[in-house]
Structure 1
């Protein structure tokens, strides 16, 4: 089986487009740090390939198209067209950002998936939630309560200066409500249906086996550092 690096190498080329004389870089689908089958049996290779190469790629393509329309509208000083394209930018931009975080949040069990190491994040989780098990229940409960499609998140709440558990609808980003995303659980059907059918609770339960806590901890450390710097 070819690695995802080889399969998606062509997507990683930084392409440029010219729109009314201006040049900007197009968004691209980020490469995975692992092969499609590394997350099995929690998430199948088939889902990973479809999710990464089809669904995420569609968000990226639509975001690039929407930004080109926006740039054209700005060049023509067409305010109505600028307003009209904004929902597409928000939705597809959110899809791109949320999935880019999601891929980094995952890693195979054989490579450390599911293991929370000692450190600032573990201490914060235990202080606020009592244990990792209690945190997972809080995230799963919030995620299961999503009506329709969306995301469950462990975040850093910038206003309160500590961890928080929230859910966002569709492809809304935690940053839109003042939160720094640390860990996202994709609750869209395309993330689990081929493996779990309509039993999404099993998907929410099993995904913790492949969480890359090193990545989550790094995001937490960065969020705390930025928060402290903003207070000085």
Structure 2
């Protein structure tokens, strides 16, 4: 089985001005495609050839850093595309209640996501996740992921690598976070992930 680059769940202009069509053409069309291609090349003819992407990530963690980086980045990026929407969606009642319990309000959660994202050193990701029945904000560095962590259900993620925002916002990561977290998060996707109760899986 070879993995395919997922279709974007919106038109390439849908996220503007937070994320431009030009950024998507490079980030999605070049960076994400390269991670997929390198993952496929690395697993061809191996025991991982017919495994799910999540299984590849888990098996490669700590044993094959090159494969782990490319497989995890393939997963993270697909999850990131779905974590955004052209028009901000509303959280389900279940998600809204958990947000209010953990952070006070949706706006307070947004502020915390922006704060953690802006304060994250160098490249990585900032996540909203469910852990032990409670919502939490997690950070991973470089190509790391929480996709294969037991007991952790990722709900949303925001990419903090410079190639996610440099064409649109230059070095101003906070401006990118204001734009994406402020009005482009896909709370419907997060609600689906919460209701399912286990980590999203990469489409086959």
Shared fold by TM > 0.5? Answer: yes
Once the two structures are TM-superposed, the CA of residue 116 in structure 1 deviates from its matched residue by 2.4
1:112-141 CA-to-partner distances (Å, cap 9, x unmatched) read x2x424410011101111011111122222
Closer, same or farther: CA 192–83 of 1 in aligned 2, 3 Å:
closer
Matching residue of 1:161: 133
SS of aligned partner of 2:154: strand
Answer whether contact 1:152 1:167 (CA < 8 A) is retained.
yes
Answer whether contact 1:139 1:166 (CA < 8 A) is retained.
no
TM-score, scaled relative to structure 1 = 0.74
Select the structure of larger CA radius of gyration: 1
Matching residue of 1:19: none
Matching residue of 1:53: 29
Matching residue of 1:187: 160
Answer whether contact 1:155 1:183 (CA < 8 A) is retained.
yes
Greater share of residues in helix = 1
C-alpha distance in structure 1 between counterparts of 2:61 and 2:115, whole Å: 36
- Once the two structures are superposed, the pairs formed by residues 11-26 of structure 1 within 5 Å of their partners are 25-26=1-2
Runs of 4 or more off by more than 3 Å in structure 1?
Answer: 69-72, 82-85, 175-178
Answer whether contact 2:127 2:155 (CA < 8 A) is retained.
yes
Matching residue of 1:127: 101
Over aligned residue pairs, what C-alpha RMSD do you find?
Answer: 2.2
Answer whether contact 2:19 2:168 (CA < 8 A) is retained.
yes
Are 1:196 and 2:172 an aligned pair? no
Answer whether contact 1:70 1:85 (CA < 8 A) is retained.
no
Are 1:66 and 2:38 an aligned pair? no
C-alpha distance in structure 1 between counterparts of 2:185 and 2:156, whole Å: 9
* Among 110, 116, 119, the residue aligned to 1:136: 110
Matching residue of 1:94: 72
Answer whether contact 1:63 1:93 (CA < 8 A) is retained.
yes
C-alpha distance in structure 1 between counterparts of 2:186 and 2:61, whole Å: 38
**5+ residue gaps in structure 2?**
49-59, 200-204
Which of structures 1 and 2 has the larger relative contact order (alpha carbons within 8 angstroms, sep 6+)? 2
